A and B are shown apart, each in its own frame.
Chain A
Amino acid sequence: MNRSRVGGLLANSVVWGYALMILGPTLWVLSNAFKFKIDIITGATLSPFTWMNFQELLFSRQSDFLANLFNSALIGVVSTAIVIIAATMAAFTLAYLEVKPWVRWAILGWALLFHMLPTLTFVGSWYLMYSSIGLHGTYFAVIMTHAVHNLPMALFLMVSFVGALPRELIQAARMDGCTYAQVFWRIVFPLVRGGMIAATALTFIFSWSDFAISLTLTSRDTMTVPVAIATFAQEYDIRYGEMAAGTLLSIMPALLLILVGQNFIVRGLLAGAVK
């Protein structure tokens, strides 16, 4: 066996090992969604097929899953819109307007630091803040917190997309009589649209899958899908079937966005690279 074949084998086993770590649990969850509870608990591999978990989840009195889906969607869409608009405009400002270098580095440095700190360190304070002004459990509280939490990542992405535009392009537009707002809408916006879609997809997925913030800041009426799924695990009764069905349903929009977004991430990066 020569060296490149050993290397190939090694690389292959790493990839397969990684896939197994992810695919194993995923497949287990997915298959649980279509099993009766008794088969899940006994660990039967081949078992009768059923839609019962989905029926329970979507239509039973004890479950608000449709409302949870709506909450997740609403919070995701609104917070993502806020994040992307703010991040793109901020990126344009940081990249092309006369911002003092230390201001630029302070903002980006803080964004990075904030993104590195565990979310759990903040949720306690957020809970107290919103409770004290009577906004705990409102859409406003979750949406604003998601926006604040996801802005750093989107800002970083948009700074790299917007910053990749040649500076002379902005200058040419200025010479041609554009105000900075017009430069933004007529030149920058069309050219970073791909990047914006990629950042939108990622931000939405982050909001959609968030657990810590939603758990702390939502009430029964504003509860999101991940929190709802967690409530299926109660002290004496873990409802594996419904959890699995809920997970499966909640993966769908994220999966869709990744497929769309991936395409745009690649295209967005290419658009930045080609003058």
Chain B
Amino acid sequence: MSNVSLRGLKKSYGSVEVIPSLDLDIRSGEFVVLVGPSGSGKSTLLRMIAGLESIDAGTVSVEGEDVTQRDPGDRDMAMVFQSYALYPHMTVAENMTFALRMRGMDKTTIGERLTESVRMLSLEGLEHRKPGQLSGGQRQRVAMGRAIVRQPRVFLFDEPLSNLDAKLRARTRIELRELHEKLGATSIFVTHDQIEAMTMADRIVLLEKGRIQQVGSPREIYERPRNTFVASFIGSPEINMMEGKLWFDNGTAWFEQLVLRSRGSESASLAGVAAGGYTLGIRPEGFDIAREPLEGSVPMVVGAVEYTGSDTYAFGKSPMGDLTVKIAADFQAVAETLHTGETLHVKALADGWHLFDSSGERVTGG
């Protein structure tokens, strides 16, 4: 269990700057998820922490100890790869004990650790199979087992669930989290899947083009996105983004035809914000829906209705652009009779909106 600290990390491939300069502190025992779109440098960063990738500048320290110049094998970190990277010519047991054997650990300890990990991951009876004779899910567990037997200071995961089918992925997510609670080791988990990030992380680090966009708990990131990129990346269906003018009328704040309210005193969160051009973000659940026009609502012509079982979403066109709106549970009766072409009236819930300036930075909201 150790804290990991990254200082001024830089990496370029030729003239392509993948990580411009990155600082990050990961607490001891924390489960941190590095999330971002494909090509944002997550794997590169993870490999830099692991020592598999050369570093142009900066340091990686574990528990205050600078490990930047150490070999990957001497950092006491274990990694689970997206492709699992099991050694095809070794059995499950040989795969799992390889690192221990390389360290010259004594046979009894190796045996004990193997038995324990095999039991923990329910791999009993598969010890003598080769990876080629295992299912995808089993291979994934062996890859986890290979990391666990080492009892490392830090676990590194590079999209270890992305080759599993949806059902297994959801289950493995929970199992992995449970395993983390049990082992309590510092874990850095890379994924491009925001749902994985939201469900598994103690803290999310959102990366784009090698730059950290925001660091925070899933709740912080969802409820107070620092910029339009974060707001759009996290949340499904995606947040509605509208460009337009903010104006004030007798103490009421308007964004084009929408009224913006806050809980507590009206438009308190907008105090001191100047009128002008902004970007407004409203999540699908941030709308109030009515059949009749309300003050500060916009009409929306329903184009499609999507029923997912637990939720219903309406997609449609409004004067402020295309909108995705979640139909609230108390409006379900409407949802059942709702059909294409019908007009609904939607308005922003108090504090259900986020205001960003022209450069995409958060101004206020939610």
0 or 1 for each of A243-275: is its CB under 8 Å from B? (1 = yes): 000000000000000000000000000010011
Name A193's closest neighbour in chain B (CB-CB). Answer: B89
> Is residue A85 contacting chain B, with contact meaning CB distance below 8 A?
no
Q: Is A177 a contact partner of B81 (Cβ separation < 8 A)? A: no
How many residues on the B side are at the interface (Cβ–Cβ under 8 A)?
Answer: 26
0 or 1 for each of B74-99: is its CB under 8 Å from A? (1 = yes): 10011101110111110000000011
- Rounded to whole Å, the gap between the CB of A151 and the closest CB of chain B is 27
Name B13's closest neighbour in chain A (CB-CB). Answer: A101
CB < 8 Å A-B pair total: 61
List chain B residues, Cβ under 8 A from A175.
50, 52, 72-73, 77-79, 99
List chain B residues, Cβ under 8 A from A275.
83, 88
Q: Is B89 a contact partner of A190 (Cβ separation < 8 A)? A: yes
> Is residue B269 contacting chain A, with contact meaning CB distance below 8 A?
no
Name A165's closest neighbour in chain B (CB-CB). Answer: B88
Q: Which of A168, A175, A182, A271 gathers the greatest number of chain B CB atoms within 10 Å?
A: A175
Q: Is B52 a contact partner of A191 (Cβ separation < 8 A)? A: no
Known: A175-B72, A182-B102, A191-B89. A98 touches B81 (CB 8 A): no
Q: Is A172 a contact partner of B102 (Cβ separation < 8 A)? A: no
> Is residue A124 contacting chain B, with contact meaning CB distance below 8 A?
no
List chain A residues, Cβ under 8 A from B77.
175
Known: A174-B52, A174-B72, A191-B88. A168 touches B102 (CB 8 A): no
Q: Is A169 a contact partner of B50 (Cβ separation < 8 A)? A: no
The listed residue (B51, B81, B132) touching A168 by CB distance below 8 A is: B81
Q: Is B102 a contact partner of A176 (Cβ separation < 8 A)? A: yes
- Rounded to whole Å, the gap between the CB of B277 and the closest CB of chain A is 46
Name A187's closest neighbour in chain B (CB-CB). Answer: B87
The listed residue (A98, A173, A182) touching B87 by CB distance below 8 A is: A173
Q: Is A178 a contact partner of B85 (Cβ separation < 8 A)? A: no
CA distance A182 to B98 in the complex (A): 12
> Is residue B182 contacting chain A, with contact meaning CB distance below 8 A?
no
> Is residue A24 contacting chain B, with contact meaning CB distance below 8 A?
no
Name A275's closest neighbour in chain B (CB-CB). Answer: B83
> Is residue A50 contacting chain B, with contact meaning CB distance below 8 A?
no
How many residues on the A side are at the interface (Cβ–Cβ under 8 A)?
Answer: 20
> Is residue A231 contacting chain B, with contact meaning CB distance below 8 A?
no
List chain B residues, Cβ under 8 A from A187.
87
CA distance A177 to B82 in the complex (A): 19
Name A274's closest neighbour in chain B (CB-CB). Answer: B132
CA distance A166 to B87 in the complex (A): 10
Return 30 A-B CB contacts under 8 Å, by A number. A166-B83, A166-B85, A168-B81, A168-B82, A168-B85, A169-B85, A169-B87, A171-B50, A171-B79, A171-B85, A172-B79, A172-B85, A172-B86, A172-B146, A173-B87, A173-B98, A174-B71, A174-B73, A175-B72, A175-B78, A176-B73, A176-B98, A177-B99, A178-B102, A179-B71, A179-B73, A182-B102, A187-B87, A274-B132, A275-B83
> Given A169-B85, A176-B73, list of 6 further CB < 8 A pairs?
A168-B85, A171-B85, A172-B79, A175-B52, A175-B72, A177-B99
Which B residues fall within an 8 A CB radius of A? Answer: 47, 50-52, 54, 71-74, 77-79, 81-83, 85-89, 98-99, 102-103, 132, 146
Identify the 4 closest CB pairs spanning chains A and B, nearest first. A177-B73, A176-B99, A168-B85, A172-B85
Which A residues fall within an 8 A CB radius of B? Answer: 98, 166, 168-169, 171-179, 182, 187, 190-191, 271, 274-275
